[in-house]
Structure 1
């Protein structure tokens, strides 16, 4: 009987000790969470516990902390991008609007010759078209990036589509001082994608190359084992490696004064469409040449 009492007493003491240690560990977790939530430290919960279940709890808490930190960073980036977008679109809207209003006031003043008035009208129309293009592209990008936007995925013959797109740029490509260098694969290339989206992407990339380079443009389409890559290269003496990470941001232009003809939305639209098609659009700088490369996955039977 005595042994039984001693055994029960020892079990009770061990249970009390274990309960005390558990309570102490829980207090430590509570203290660490409190200091973290108060912003007093960025340190996560320690994982040194005598109880395995507490270790698993601490691991899950740390995962929640990581998720919360990622969400916070994403929110800050989103807020920053929103502020930047508002700032850029305000600038890009204000500039042509101010110009249009200025020329309208000149026309209303009845000063100047008929030739000068006609010139004012021509310039005002040009600014209006730029404003219209900006608004159209901004609306298009907003639609593309919406969750509900869906592409019409179907079989696309790249051997037919790409030459058709390039034919539309024939005059602009050949009026340059140096002709374009075009290399297209003769292999049969078919993939599942949205034909109009591919056309929009390639047109935007070629337009970007034409606007920002007066030298030759290289256009190359290659078929690989499981992918097809379309690369468009042009001289880009004004770009640096630091520009590459921002090229596909909406409203980004390497022209710091934002005085160029581009809206800074064309590459953002191209990037969004490529993502929607489960493809990739990347930019690389090789010396003074910028290479934009689109990559699509080939169908298994292609």
Structure 2
């Protein structure tokens, strides 16, 4: 008889515990519904000092924290994109407005002696627009996972020097004289010619836009890798945020102009990585340096 009463008591206790557990689960469910419906950042609480319930509540809280963090990141990204589009719209609108103005001048006076000068300015504006659109098109392509580059054996040293020579007049016009330390031999890597040339172009353009003497360009190697380093003093008054150097649409302060999208270094980084290379950048004591390394073949 005594055993029966103990069994009945245990059943009652078990039933009460189950009722309390169901009640606590319902409470947690209600809290979750409230947080979701009200987009609240409150945390789930449990009155049960049982390890399983406490872990369950903590898992839900961690999930909610992750959800809110992603939501904040999305909102910030959306605001950033809106500001970027606004800035790019301004960059594109400026040369377009200029083109329209010069076209009207020419149309209104076809015999104007300044027409040749106007045509020259218009060509520069069109070139500026082409550069902006080309940068945007390249950046969009690089975001596609299926975008692949055809690789081939390339003489890195020769292509770096050849691309640099194409900017000879630009460097001369700005009184920039880079100190070149390239080895007098061929160093081959597995890469894509167009992509590698674009990398050099972006680096040299970055020097022309933001740099001043002294400037050095070097290529070195060890048994497995080659290393390309570009280092220049930054223009006076230019402020560069080291953490943002490779971010898309980033522009150093005081560097906005109609031909820049802020995509140059972001595209450079993406191309280097597509070619299985590594790239780093550093800013120290008003000197800006980029280092790129590739495996040799």
- Fold-level similarity (TM above 0.5): yes
Partner of 1:109: 108
Partner of 2:70: 71
Partner of 2:269: 271
Residues 238 and 254, structure 1, Cα contact 8 Å, conserved in 2: no
Question: Can you list the C-alpha shifts for 1:153-205, whole angstroms capped at 9, x where unaligned?
Answer: 45555344434433444454466535212334689865544343222112201
Partner of 1:128: 126
Tell me the TM-score normalised to structure 2 length: 0.81
Residues 24 and 47, structure 2, Cα contact 8 Å, conserved in 1: no
Query: Residues 288 and 268 (structure 1 numbering): CA distance in 2 closer, same or farther, change over 3 Å?
Result: same
Partner of 2:178: 180
**Structure 1 residues 96-105 or 195-204, which shifts more?**
195-204
Tell me the TM-score normalised to structure 1 length: 0.80
Task: Tell me the distance in 2 between the aligned counterparts of 1:187 and 1:6.
Answer: 97
Question: Can you list the C-alpha shifts for 1:231-258, whole angstroms capped at 9, x where unaligned?
Answer: 21222133335x3333434443335583
Q: How many residues align?
A: 296
- Aligned-pair CA distance for 1:29: 2.4
Q: CA RMSD in A?
A: 3.3
Q: Secondary structure at the match of 1:146?
A: coil
Task: Tell me the distance in 1 between the aligned counterparts of 2:161 and 2:187.
Answer: 13
Task: Tell me the distance in 1 between the aligned counterparts of 2:78 and 2:136.
Answer: 18
Q: Secondary structure at the match of 1:216?
A: strand
Residues 210 and 255, structure 2, Cα contact 8 Å, conserved in 1: no
Runs (5+) with no aligned partner, structure 2: none
- Aligned-pair CA distance for 1:91: 0.5
Residues 28 and 46, structure 2, Cα contact 8 Å, conserved in 1: no
Task: Tell me the distance in 1 between the aligned counterparts of 2:190 and 2:18.
Answer: 62
Partner of 1:84: 83
Query: Residues 280 and 67 (structure 1 numbering): CA distance in 2 closer, same or farther, change over 3 Å?
Result: farther
**Structure 1 residues 169-178 or 286-295, which shifts more?**
169-178
Runs (5+) with no aligned partner, structure 1: none
Question: Can you list the C-alpha shifts for 1:5-37, whole angstroms capped at 9, x where unaligned?
Answer: 123213213312321342343244235424532
Q: Secondary structure at the match of 1:245?
A: helix
- Aligned-pair CA distance for 1:145: 1.7
Task: Tell me the distance in 2 between the aligned counterparts of 1:190 and 1:44.
Answer: 58
